[in-house]
Homo-oligomer: A and B are copies of this chain.
Amino acid sequence: MAQKPNIPKGTRDFSPAEIAKRNYIFDTVRKHFKRFGYQPIETPSFENSSTLMGKYGEEGDRLIFKILESGDYISKIDENLIESTIPIYIALNSIFKDVFYFVVDKIKNEDQRFLTLDEIGAIVGSDELHLEINLILDKWSFFLSPDENLSKLFKDEFNSQKHKFLESLAFFIFGEGVDFERNISDNSFIRYVITNGERGLISSWAKKLSKEINKKVKIKPEKSKEISISISEKALRYDLTVPFARYVVMHQNELTFPFKRYQIQPVWRADRPQKGRFREFYQCDADVVGNDSLLQEVELVQLYDAVFTDLGLEGATIKLNNRKILSGIAELIGAKDQLIQFTVALDKLDKIGEEGVIKEMLGHGIPEAAIEKLKPLFALDGDSMVQLETLATMLQDSEEGTKGVEELRFILEHSLALGLQNSTLALDVTLARGLNYYTGAIFEVSAPEGVKMGSIGGGGRYDDLTGIFGLKNVSGVGISFGLDRIYLVLEELGLFPESVSESLQVLCINFGDAEALASMKLIKQLREAGVACELYPSHAKMNKQMKYANARQVPFVVMIGDQELAAQQFVVKEMGTGTQSTYDLNDIKPFLEAIR
């Protein structure tokens, strides 16, 4: 049976129509990245695990796809990281112990006699006995394998075979019904048990063994990270920022700063897949490092606006905040260590109203007096510059907060002076995206009102991007475009140009060998002139060929039958209108002009 083909959950195949639309977005973004002076780089799909691990927090580490080492990677696992259990071994051992205590009890309670040396030898297990048991294990391990394919093959037999194995093992240990190569010596403990007629124990020991066999080797949960590192030295890219930081540090001597780079590559996350969340997706990032001028923030706002304008997307809101303002507010209310709880609460203003936010803040232990100082925040409204002045007054006693206000003012004022074509720039003091790493400006872009979609882009400034890799004091600022969401927004608003999905301009119908060759000669000329065209490869029925033409949505079908060939002509059918025109095979210019 052939396999029913499928792809891993959270991944996608892209059809030609989807690729055309995705490339339309990529090409547009790329065009503006270039116009803004950003240069492309690409980094490997997998990095050393040590480059990625520990850079995205506990949760991030868990979501990084690790690549298995090839070869004998299991030997790289420190056995201390594994629960000390190879179950069959333990099960046997534990049975031997049971056997021992059983005998001890027997002796204690019944005849109080000591065991002979041979009897003790049998209890602890002679080498011979171990050898025999290993032979049985090898013989039967096939049926114990949890390998799904094997299980399926033997679906019906599996359980009964397993049972048979346990029976065999018990019979072997206890000496009856044994048809294996070698019998154990008469003078053994097993004989002792058998001759003393203690058969009831056999089944309980077999049961215990069966239970143990179904257990697996387990990682100590707290050690799974260490194990992953030991058997996986590489991991798939989780985002483009950490590889970029690594790139800058590694190539610092080849680069001229400020270094403006863009990067459009896939990233992978072992997230639980759900609607709109994939395990493989593209990121489109533009960042500049090595200069802390705020003009770069101003330019990034222009970049967003230029791309959205080119895509025909009107009314996107570029939301702007500054980490220093958030810090200033936290300082003001004496809740520096509660900055995250504070911004999370504030962010809900729209949903739960002023009262709800205050209640939540009180819940986090932010004192009433402090919340009183925040009151102006709840009333922030209207023009961004007006809002900014409210913030300026509120934060006048905080050095950091005042710095944040100044930075924001610079970006807002310059953006006003340059103007935006299609987007709106709006201060949003609740914006706390990426609080962990951004140190200055924070950006987030919302789709136009009415389109239900999360953010379609975001970014910010991080004062020490490359510090983790040893290059200190290199400031960076960058933004990202959310390809998948922008795709959905353009789809919903019908903004993809029709021409995007046109993959073939001309199809030549195949009327047989000689005609086909003439068509191929025509096609060769058309292609040299830049026209996407092809010949239907076989002399199929006209019906079938036209069906293909329709499926490919070809605007022009060319026909060279025997009459046309004789007259050195070709007939063009315009599929939209059905009108037909005839051209000279020896002069294609009129046709080229007609289809442009």
The interface of chain A, by Cβ under 8 A from chain B, is 1-8, 11-16, 19-20, 23, 32, 34-37, 39-48, 50-51, 62-63, 65-68, 70-72, 74-82, 84-89, 93, 97, 100, 104, 107-108, 114-115, 117, 120-121, 123-124, 137, 141, 144-147, 216-219, 221, 224, 226-234, 236, 246-247, 249-251, 254, 256, 258, 260-261, 266, 268, 270, 280, 288, 291-293, 295-296, 298-299, 302, 306, 414, 417-418, 467-470, 503-504, 507, 510, 516-517, 520-521, 524, 527-528, 530-535, 537-538, 547-548, 551-552
The residues of B that contact A70 with a CB separation of less than 8 Å are 62-63, 65-66, 270
The residues of B that contact A115 with a CB separation of less than 8 Å are 114, 120
**For the complex, what is the distance from the CA of A23 to the CA of B42, rounded to whole Å?**
11
Report yes or no: B6 in contact with A82, Cβ–Cβ below 8 A: no
Q: How far is the CB of A201 from chain B (nearest CB, A)?
A: 18
Report yes or no: A417 in contact with B517, Cβ–Cβ below 8 A: yes
Q: Choose one: B44, B295, B527; the contact of A12 (CB below 8 Å).
A: B44
The residues of B that contact A302 with a CB separation of less than 8 Å are 520, 524
27 residue pairs from A and B, CB less than 8 Å apart: A2-B467, A4-B470, A6-B51, A6-B250, A11-B45, A11-B46, A13-B250, A19-B39, A34-B532, A36-B527, A36-B532, A37-B534, A46-B268, A66-B67, A74-B219, A75-B218, A75-B219, A78-B216, A79-B86, A79-B217, A80-B88, A93-B93, A104-B120, A147-B229, A258-B537, A295-B535, A418-B524
Q: Choose one: B72, B80, B469; the contact of A145 (CB below 8 Å).
A: B80
The residues of B that contact A527 with a CB separation of less than 8 Å are 32, 35-36, 306
Q: How far is the CB of A101 from chain B (nearest CB, A)?
A: 9
The residues of B that contact A414 with a CB separation of less than 8 Å are 517, 520
**For the complex, what is the distance from the CA of A86 to the CA of B218, rounded to whole Å?**
12
Closest B residue by C-beta to A48: B8
Q: Choose one: B8, B37, B78, B548; the contact of A503 (CB below 8 Å).
A: B37
Closest B residue by C-beta to A43: B13
